[in-house]
Every structure is written in C-alpha cells, then in structure tokens.
Amino acid sequence: MLDGYALSISDLMRSSSIAAILSLAGMLAVPALADDLPKRVVSMNLCTDQLAMMLAAPGQLLSVSYLATDPRGSAMAEKAKSYQINRGLAEEIYLLRPDLVVAGSFSTRATVDMLKRLDIPVAVFEPAYGLGEVRDRLREMGEVLGREEAANALIADYDYHLGSLLEEAGHRPRAALYYANGYTSGDRTLAGQILFAAGFENVAVEAGYSTGGILPLEVLAMLEPEALITGRRYSGTSRSEEILDHPVVQTLRADGTNGAISDRDWICGTPYVLRAIKELGTLHREMVED
Amino acid sequence: MARLAIGLTAVTVVFFVAALTLGPAPIGPVESLHALIAGDEGPLTLVMREIRLPRATLAVMVGASLGLAGAAMQGYLRNPLAEPGLIGVSGSAALGAVIAIQTGLATSMALGLPAMALIGALVGVTLVMALAGPRGSSLTLILAGIAISALAAALTSLVLNLSPNPFAANEIVFWMMGSLADRSMTHVWIALPFMGVGWAMLATLGRGLDALTLGEDAAGAMGISLKRLRLTLVLGTASVVGAATAVAGAIGFVGLVVPHILRPLVGAQPSRLLWASAICGATMVLAADIAVRLILPERDLKLGVVTAIVGAPLFLHLIYKTRRQLA
C-alpha cells in the first residue's frame, strides 16, 4: 500500500500519469464503500477537485469543476476529463443528487449557501497558505471522504519527498515572484514557500509583503532581484499581462536570471507543489553554480 | 490674462515635479531628480526615466486633453454639463481600445490602439451631438450620454468576457475608471501624435466659440461657419479623448470640474477657457495621480475614483442649478 503511493509520487515528479496509479491503490484499499460514507461526491473548486481525485475511491467522486480540465491551471486535467464537469451552479449541482459537496472557501459562496439550505452536506476547504497546509488539506479530504488511510499514506510520502527536495541553501539568490497586474506573493503564501523551499530568498519579504499583494513596479526595480520569476502567459491578450513587457521588467530580465512558473503546480496545495519546487530548484542550482 | 496663464502654468510645474519625486519607492527628491537628469546604470535612473517620467508626462497630456475637450464641448453646446466622460465619449473610446487589444490590432499595428480608440470616440461624440441637437439641451444631452455610456460599457464588458485570457474580464475596472499605473514611454509616443493633432484642432475653435456666445445667427453674420466649427470640434475631441482613453482608460469629470472653476477667472470667454482648461486639466490629473499613489499605493486605486469623488458633487450641484432648464 505505502509502496504504491511512494511509486506514485515519484512518478508524479517525473510525469503526470499519477492518477491511474492512485486509483489503482484506491481499489486495493477499499473494495466496497461502507454504508455511512459519501458515495456521490461533487467537487466545485479547482483545488478540492484535485484533492478529491487523488483520494476518492473508484466511483465515489461524481463530478469536478470545469477548471480541473484546463491544463493551464490544473495538474490533473487529463484525469478530470473522466468525470462529469460542473460550473459551480447550484442548479446543476443539485441535479447531480450529491450526498457530499466539497467546495473552496473563496469560491461560489452563494451556491454553497443555497446547497446548505437544500440540506446537502457541504465540506468547505480553506486554501493552503503554506507547504505544511498541504498536509492538512490532504488529511481533511481524507476525513470527509472516509479515506483516512489513503490520505495518511499520501501525506507520509509527501513529507518524505519534501524533505529530500529542500535545498540546503548556502547561497540564497534574491528572487521576486511577479505576476500579471504586478501581483507578488510574500512568505506566508504557498508560492512564497515554494520559492523558499527551492533555495531562494523572496525580495517581497524585504519590501514588507508577507501575504500576496500588488508590488509597485518601481519598488520592484529598486529591490533589484537577482532572479525574476513570472507567471506563464495565457492565450489571448490582456492589459494585466502587459506589465511583464514593461521596459523595467525587460531590464530586470536582461540583468538577471529569469524563470516562468506553471500555474497548475503552484495554485493548489496538493503534492504537485513538489514538482514546482523541483523545477525551481533546477533554476537555483544553475544560478549557484554560475 | 498673462498673469493667469503664468500662475496656472507655475502650479502645473509644481505638481509635475511633485509627481516625479513622490512614489511608493522611498527616494529623496534631490536624489531622484539628479538620477532623472544625470542618469547612470542604477535602478534609480530606471525608475525615474521608465516609470515616473512617462507617468507624469501622461498625466499632463491626458489632463490637458480632457480639460480642453470639456471646455470646447461646453462652449459649443453652451451647456456646462457637457463632459467627454459623462456623455459617453470616453466610454466609446474605451470600447474601441478594448476591441483593438482583443483582436490583436494593438500589437500588429503601431498606432492601432489609439486609432481604434479614436474611432470609438468619434462614434460616441457623433451620436451624442446628433441626439442632443444643435442647442444641446441638458436633458437630451444627459439622456443621450447615459444611453451611450451604458451601451459602450456593456459592449466593453462583453468583449472582455469573451476573451480567452482569464485576466481580461477583470480589466473592465481599468477601462471604466482609468489609471496611469505602470505606463511606459511607449504609451507617451503612441498617444502624442493623436493628441497633438487634436489639440491643434481644438485650439482653432476659440474665435468661433466666442462668436457663438452671441447666438448662432450672430456667429454666422460674423463669418463663422457652424458646420466647420462642429466638424473640427467633433474630430478634435475624438482625437484627444480617444488617445487619452487608449493609454489611461476613461477618466471622468476632469472636463467638468476644470472649466467650471476657471469660468469666472477668464470672464466666461470660451477662447480663454480653452487654454486655461488645458493647463488646469493637467494639474488636476497630476494631483489625482499623486493622490492615488500616496493614499493606497498597494491597492492600485483608480484615477477615476479620485476625480469622481471631486467631480460628482459638483455635477450634482450643476444639475441642481440647471434644474429649471431640465424640467
């Protein structure tokens, strides 16, 4: 059982075909669902979608949100396509006759309230604000799905791989996370902790940002980060992403190292953050060796 | 009048320097101006030349454009409520700009963005003028403006909602409220040609607008061609408002507040009001932009929020004053 999970996480870090192995492990663990466990689970948030897909027993999870099928934001887009897709509207959720709905605390609040009025059990998940909270979310999802054992196995494995990934940082290059609209993430965010785990110092912390917020461009310029890590562009054009082409950002890019992050591994507190740390760790090693 | 001109210009210069020396990065005024003028390879020069200088320059250009356009429209319609933001010209320009960005025209053609904004503004201003009629009664003017603003805002939202880009949908706030955050010299260069032409056109209106204060017949007797006056006004306004909106979004109330304050100082003479409003409009936008940076630097407060807080009460006051005409 544990071996099964260890294999899956290593696999996860190499490729993204984790899903099949996870559900195989699930089948081995619980051949038939006990009576008091939810059997028709609907998830309506990108992060709960992925947690549920990782932990649910076969047939237990009925539907995930449409965001889970978008490869830009979801690490499990392929796997998500095998479920029914919902857009988080109360009407469609109700018609799925769920016996448990899992939702994020920031998403579709009106829908959640309505579902509660309709006497459908709703489990609301906070977003993960740090690498440690990935563990909490896995445990919570395990509890609501009645899959504690699977959750514990995944947590143990997450801890093991996280420990082996943490960079013994002698020199920590000063890096800035900079996204569309000039948004940055401080040290009390998941992205900030991924950055730190990969061996970087976060310049946003120097500027007094512990959570996320808009970092004025001139403050970024004055901080002179050694590495600039920006979000990957989405298709179509937007004013919001235009800031990544500003002459100041171009100068910073030309002067230092720069990397781009894939939203799918950074947005949600799932074991996929390990892949983000690993990718960023490569950048770190290149910088330190230079 | 020369004293008024010098006084207004001096105030604008003071605000311009203030805009250059104030910002979220704590840099001393002497230090920052030295870095701007002398220049080295350091980050300070980068901040001054690539962030603060374009921002302050655009504030002057946008402010002058909006002040001038407001004064010109009010002179032509002889109505103190005519203002590009309120009557839907800025909103239509924003629609044009959004279409240019979303269709890729803005990136494939150097002046695609301001040109499309100009076309949007032209449609807006033509519609308003046609609906309001030659005398521009307050009621028809405002009603036409509401309808055009609402339609332009709805279509702007629609275009942004249809975009495949997840950030686009949130940009409606920028287009409706305006901002000068993170602009670069590129924006100065794309706006300048259109604004320059528009300023030149609107500046020629002085004599005609002065004559128009005596009535249309008298103006005609003095050799003013009303048709030509109107055409110059429409094209000039569309040009300056289009360019301003393309780079800074729709900023309301500047063209309302500025001429209102200046009218007693220039003896209510439209030709003087034109240049005075241009100078004072620049000061107002500079001041508003300093305010958004000082009050909530991390929140990306929009310029239109500040101008509306100043301008909307005045607008209500003006409606109250002209309510007999409205009834």
- Residue among B303, B292, B296, B297 nearest B24 (CA): B297
Confirm if B89 and B251 have CB atoms less than 8 A apart.
no
Instruction: Please state the domain extents for chain B.
Output: 2-326
pLDDT in tens, B85-100: 988 999 999 999 999 9
Cα separation, A174 vs A171, in Å, equals: 9
> Strand pairing of A212-214 and A183-185?
antiparallel
pLDDT at B327: 57
> Strand pairing of A84-86 and A61-65?
parallel
Q: Please compute the mean of the pLDDT values over residues B251-263 and round it to a whole number.
A: 94
In this model, does residue A25 exceed pLDDT 50?
no
A 143-182 near B (Cβ less than 8 A): 180-182
Residue A79: count of CB within 10 angstroms of its CB: 23
Cα separation, B99 vs A21, in Å, equals: 47
In this model, does residue A7 exceed pLDDT 50?
no
ipTM of this predicted structure: 0.83
Instruction: Please state the domain extents for chain A.
Output: 2-163, 174-289
Residue B3: count of CB within 10 angstroms of its CB: 7
pLDDT in tens, B12-28: 999 999 999 998 888 88
Confirm if B259 and B83 have CB atoms less than 8 A apart.
no
Average pLDDT, chain A: 85
Q: Cβ A180–B167 below 8 Å, yes or no?
A: yes
Q: Please compute the mean of the pLDDT values over residues B216-239 and round it to a whole number.
A: 92
Confirm if B59 and B19 have CB atoms less than 8 A apart.
yes
Q: Give the nearest partner residue to B51 out of A218, A235, A242, using CB atoms.
A: A218
Range with the poorest average pLDDT among A27-36, A226-235, B87-96, B116-125 = A27-36
Q: Give the confidence band of A109 by pLDDT, cuts at 50, 70, 90.
A: confident
pLDDT in tens, A184-203: 999 999 999 999 999 999 99
- Name the architecture of domain B2-326: Orthogonal Bundle (1.10)
In this model, does residue B134 exceed pLDDT 70?
no
Q: Please compute the mean of the pLDDT values over residues B71-83 and round it to a whole number.
A: 90
- A82, burial (CB in 10 Å: exposed 0-12, middle 13-18, buried 19+): exposed
Q: CA separation (Å) from A11 to A18, A272, A277?
A: 6, 11, 15
In this model, does residue B154 exceed pLDDT 70?
yes
Which residues is A122 bridged to in the sheet? Answer: A101
Residue A223: count of CB within 10 angstroms of its CB: 17
pLDDT at A167: 63
* Helix (H), strand (E) at residue A19: helix A18-29
In this model, does residue A181 exceed pLDDT 50?
yes
CATH number of A174-289: 3.40.50.1980
Which residues in chain A are contacts of B174 at CB distance < 8 A? Answer: 239
Cα separation, B22 vs B30, in Å, equals: 11
pLDDT at B114: 94
Sole residue written with tokens 């001393």: B28
Q: Please compute the mean of the pLDDT values over residues B114-132 and round it to a whole number.
A: 92
Cα separation, A44 vs A67, in Å, equals: 9
> What pTM did the predictor assign?
0.85
Domain A2-163 class in CATH: alpha beta
DSSP classification of residue B26: -
**What percent of chain A is predicted at pLDDT more than 70?**
86
In this model, does residue B300 exceed pLDDT 80?
no
- Residue among B179, B303, B173, B188 nearest B243 (CA): B188
What does the DSSP assignment read for B57-92?
Answer: HHHHHHHHHHHHHHHHHHHHHT-TT--TTTTTHHHH
pLDDT in tens, A44-72: 999 999 999 999 999 999 999 999 999 98
Is A218 in CB contact (< 8 Å) with chain B? Answer: yes
**What percent of chain B is predicted at pLDDT more than 70?**
98
Confirm if A25 and A8 have CB atoms less than 8 A apart.
yes
Chain B CA closest to residue A224: B43
In this model, does residue A34 exceed pLDDT 70?
no
Chain A CA closest to residue B160: A238
Confirm if A189 and A129 have CB atoms less than 8 A apart.
yes
Which residues in chain B are contacts of A240 at CB distance < 8 A? Answer: 167-168, 170-171
Here the contacts of B291-296 (C-beta below 8 Å, separation 24 or greater) are B292/B179, B293/B22, B293/B23, B293/B24, B294/B22
Q: Give the confidence band of B240 by pLDDT, cuts at 50, 70, 90.
A: very high
Q: Please compute the mean of the pLDDT values over residues B95-124 and round it to a whole number.
A: 93
Chain A CA closest to residue B185: A247
